[in-house]
A = this chain, B = another copy of it.
């Protein structure tokens, strides 16, 4: 089978393996300290990548297609929730547009992350799957991967910093995963994850810079289009939050696969605005020192997602933490939608002066990414 792996492909694998040890450590951890370090490390990784220019950028482009999103959808049907699409006339009135909320806060583990994790675990060979999966995250990806592994009946190893909230560890353990606690610094996380891989042979599943994950996240958009059609409506535009870009990347491929004319927007916290700055500069600019209440959006945009977003997204709207909290409260109070701050970013974006001048955007599909909130500490109290 001489053509089974092309030279380019093999080189890609080589580069991927070299980069694995770097990129693989970047996570969307919701612990700001944890994420802050990840981000600094991301900056290092991106620097290495940019030194490779030409080669590296080709290797890192996403290969996600509309077909891979459709295959992911077939894989998750009957497993992931087909989350409801909700409307709220009060919020429509405030926005001056029809908003169709795709409620991924009701997804398994409380966030869209389950879609990508389940799809990625499902793609593993029997042999690889049996050795398990590993990631490090104290965020929604950790729970999502733990549950996806449990459902396939394979081990999951989740590396978490000792500073992660107890409730997050308990949630991951509740899904049957083995939590490996490490010191809250990069070296410890890296060495701990390496030890787990060496010991177990587990496959690392990156939270967003992974084509199977991206394809999985795109499945929410397929459902949203169907559900809006069932309501007798259609979408002029869609919007998602952007952090690492897995959701936004998958959304781009799915939405434009269904309707090339639909406009794709993103909302991003002003305090972690690497996607917006990259978009403006036309090149990937890593996030350093993020500071925002939207703790799911602290990380740098992934290479694969950047390659998609550049081609598909019309505008990335940045919003302040005050705008995020106000939008979150509107969603809770008026729409009874219990979402986390990272989800409220999209409503904040829609209400922002950066977005409001957009014309011919009568109906918007809005992805509410998750609902994992610390109910002891609401941001308006």
Q: Say whether chain A's binding surface is mostly helix, strand, loop, or mixed.
A: loop
Judged by a CB distance under 8 angstroms, whether A84 is at the interface is: yes
Contact yes or no, B110 A336, CB < 8 A:
yes
Distance (Å) between the CB of A103 and the closest chain B CB? 8
A110 partner residues in chain B, CB cutoff 8 A: 336
Distance (Å) between the CB of A113 and the closest chain B CB? 14
Instruction: A81 to B376: give the CA distance in the assembly, Å.
Output: 31
Distance (Å) between the CB of A296 and the closest chain B CB? 15
Judged by a CB distance under 8 angstroms, whether A166 is at the interface is: no
Chain multiplicity (copies): 2
Distance (Å) between the CB of A209 and the closest chain B CB? 27
Judged by a CB distance under 8 angstroms, whether A126 is at the interface is: no
Instruction: A333 to B374: give the CA distance in the assembly, Å.
Output: 9
A86 partner residues in chain B, CB cutoff 8 A: 84, 106
Instruction: A265 to B179: give the CA distance in the assembly, Å.
Output: 42
Judged by a CB distance under 8 angstroms, whether A332 is at the interface is: yes
Contact yes or no, B381 A376, CB < 8 A:
yes
Instruction: A380 to B337: give the CA distance in the assembly, Å.
Output: 19
Instruction: A381 to B377: give the CA distance in the assembly, Å.
Output: 9
Closest to A81 in B: B87
Q: Beyond the given A110-B336, A336-B338, A337-B338, could you list 4 further A-B residue pairs with CB under 8 A, ordered by the A residue number?
A: A86-B106, A333-B375, A375-B380, A376-B381
Q: List 24 A-B contacts (CB under 8 A).
A: A81-B87, A84-B84, A84-B86, A86-B106, A89-B108, A105-B336, A106-B335, A106-B336, A110-B336, A329-B375, A332-B338, A332-B375, A333-B375, A336-B338, A336-B371, A337-B338, A338-B338, A375-B378, A375-B380, A376-B380, A376-B381, A378-B378, A378-B381, A381-B381
